[in-house]
Amino acid sequence: MRFNGKRIGVALTGSFCTYKKCFPQLAGLKDEGGEVQTIFSDAAQEIDSRFGCPGEFLAQAEEITGNPPFLTIAEAEHIGPAAMFDIMVIMPCTGNTLAKLANGITDSPVLMAAKAHLRNELPLVLCIASNDALGMNMKNIGLLMNSKNIYFVPFSQDDPAKKPNSLVAHFDLLKDTLEKALAGKQLQPVLR
C-alpha cells in the first residue's frame, strides 16, 4: 500500500462542483493505507449548493476516514505543534484559498491548517480548481510554485472556450503527486 502509515491531512474548500472527484480520491488514500484527517473551510461547512449540502459532505468525509472533520481554526492550529501530518493536500484549492495562502492570510480552518503544517517544513500539495487561475490568480500560482514545500497536482484548462481563465487539477494524479512530494519532488509535467 502506497501510503501505509502515512498521516495525510485533506482540506476541502468551496469548489463544490469538484467534490464528485474529491471524495473518490479521499477514499483512495484511505484504501492505500493512509491515516486521513479532513479539514473543512468555512464555506465548505456552510454553503448549500446544487452539488449538495454541507451536512452530507461532512458525513461522507467522516464515513470514509473514520474521523470527524476539523471545523475550526482552533482545531487546525494544533496540527503544527502536534506534527499531525506527514503530508497535507488542499483539495479542491479555490482561487480564494490560493490568493490567501500566497499572501499569508490565515482566516479559515483550511488556511490555519496549511500554515500550521508548513511550519514543520513538510509538503503541502495544492489540487487547484479555480475559474480565475489564468487571470488575477496567476500571480499567486507563480508565488506558490516558487515556495518551499509547496507542490501542485498537475493541472490544465478545463473549458478554454467558455472559461478561458479556468484551471482544474487532474485529480487522478493526486496519489502520484503525493508520492513525489513526500520525496521532495514536483510531479512533472505540471501543465498538462
CATH of residue 113's domain is: 3.40.50.1950
Residue 24 lies in a domain: yes
Q: What is the pTM of this model?
A: 0.97
Whole-number pLDDT of residue 51: 79
Segments of the chain with pLDDT less than 50? none
Domain span holding position 133:
7-182
**What tens digit of pLDDT does each residue of 113-153 get?**
999 999 999 999 999 999 999 999 999 999 999 999 999 99
Whole-number pLDDT of residue 50: 80
Residue 103 lies in a domain: yes
Q: Which helix (H) or strand (E) holds 12?
A: strand 7-12
Residue 96 lies in a domain: yes
Residue 87 lies in a domain: yes
Cell of 110: 483550511
Residue 2 lies in a domain: no
CA distance 42 to 37: 16
**What tens digit of pLDDT does each residue of 99-110 get?**
999 999 999 999
Number of domains in the chain: 1
Residue 75 lies in a domain: yes
| Amino acid symbol at 190 | V
Residue 25 lies in a domain: yes
**165 contacts 129 by C-beta, under 8 angstroms:** no
Residue 187 lies in a domain: no
